[in-house]
């Protein structure tokens, strides 16, 4: 069976680029989170592009807190100078009054005016589309690297969970092997108690009937069958290609939530087996299964 891919909610991507006009730095990192939460921290010039950045991240990510940093430094400014004619008239009038009042033999010169930012105003031209064209290729590249890091972490999570499932199955086989021994132990105990309650010789048929009914009640065979079914489903999601997509389509949630639900079902079966057990070795096997299940659920907290 071909192996499926699991994405961790932990990932990192980084990249920089520069041309004659801009220097761009992009960093994307993510952490565990119940839902998808996208935080964009960017230079003021990037603000109009934040919706596009969020959309790209959301197209590649289902769950987790994703923090994206986009920094742009302009190396060459595209600037026009505009004359503020009202400010120019005010300055010229003020300079003329100053010359007249001071009695200095002078006149208003261009050098008096050219350094004033109120008269000559800088108009910066920023084209949103051209800025996006400069940023988008690098952003997609960093997003791809970010996704690959989540897959690598997911592969490690998957390998550990498969190992834990192996431990779980080994413990389940111990219980399965001891089930008949436990049934014999329970039968003997029940027969002894029932013989005490029903002392008359004619009560033997009733004793056998009551014993059979109680054996069904205390048998763990059904729990073993259901547990194997849950384990099979768990392995299917871990091993099959497109498992995350199938999980999302079936329940509207990510793979991590689907697998956690299966673990909850397994935990219920384990608790039932523990409540019925009368043999020390079965109790020990139950403890082993609980430990492996807790390890799996711990890893699932980081699965997308």
> Helix, strand or coil for residue 123?
strand
Q: From CA 37, how far away is CA 41, in angstroms rounded?
A: 13
Domain boundaries, the chain: 11-76+129-148, 79-124, 154-300
**Topology at the third CATH level for domain 11-76+129-148:** Ribosomal Protein S5; domain 2 (3.30.230)
> Helix, strand or coil for residue 31?
strand
> Helix, strand or coil for residue 196?
helix
* Per-residue confidence in pLDDT tens, the chain, 304 aa: 334 578 999 999 999 999 888 899 999 999 999 889 999 999 888 889 999 999 999 999 988 999 999 999 876 565 556 777 887 888 788 878 888 888 777 776 777 666 667 776 665 555 778 889 889 999 999 999 999 999 999 999 999 999 999 999 999 999 998 887 877 777 777 667 666 666 665 566 665 666 666 665 667 888 999 999 999 999 988 887 565 555 555 544 568 888 999 999 999 999 999 988 878 898 999 999 999 999 999 999 999 8
Residue 3: what are its φ and ψ, rounded to 5°? -90, 135
Contacts of 227 (CB under 8 A, 6+ apart): 172, 266, 269, 270, 273
What 8-state DSSP symbol labels residue 300? H
Residue 30: what are its φ and ψ, rounded to 5°? -145, 160
Q: From CA 90, how far away is CA 236, in angstroms rounded?
A: 80
Q: From CA 292, how far away is CA 1, in angstroms rounded?
A: 24
Q: From CA 232, how far away is CA 273, in angstroms rounded?
A: 19
The whole model's pTM is what? 0.69
């Amino acid at each position: 069976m071909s192996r499926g891919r699991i994405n961790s909610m932990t990932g990192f991507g980084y990249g920089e680029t520069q041309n004659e006009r801009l220097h761009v730095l992009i960093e994307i990192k993510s952490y565990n989170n119940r839902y998808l939460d996208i935080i964009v921290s960017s230079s003021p010039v990037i603000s109009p592009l934040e919706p596009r950045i969020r959309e790209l991240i959301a197209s590649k990510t289902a769950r987790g807190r994703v923090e994206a940093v986009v920094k742009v430094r302009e190396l060459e400014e595209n600037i026009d100078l505009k004359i503020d004619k009202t400010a120019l008239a005010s300055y010229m009038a003020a300079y003329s009054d100053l010359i007249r009042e001071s009695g200095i033999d002078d006149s208003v010169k261009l050098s008096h005016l050219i350094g004033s930012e109120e008269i000559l105003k800088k108009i910066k031209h920023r084209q949103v589309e051209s800025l996006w064209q400069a940023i988008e290729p690098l952003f997609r590249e960093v997003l791809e690297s970010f996704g690959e890091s989540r897959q690598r972490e997911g592969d490690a999570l998957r390998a550990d969970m498969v190992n834990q499932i192996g431990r779980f199955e080994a413990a389940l086989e111990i219980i399965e092997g001891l089930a008949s021994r436990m049934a014999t132990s329970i039968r003997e105990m029940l027969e002894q108690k029932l013989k005490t309650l029903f002392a008359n010789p004619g009560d033997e048929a009733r004793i056998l009937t009551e014993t059979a009914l109680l054996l069904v009640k205390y048998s763990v065979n059904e729990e073993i069958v259901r547990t194997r079914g849950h384990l099979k489903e768990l392995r299917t999601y871990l091993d099959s290609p497109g498992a995350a997509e199938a999980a999302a389509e079936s329940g509207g949630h990510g793979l991590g939530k689907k697998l956690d639900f299966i673990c909850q079902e397994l935990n219920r079966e384990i608790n039932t087996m523990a409540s019925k057990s009368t043999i020390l070795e079965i109790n020990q096997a139950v403890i082993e299964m609980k430990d492996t299940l807790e390890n799996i659920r711990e890893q699932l907290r980081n699965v997308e």
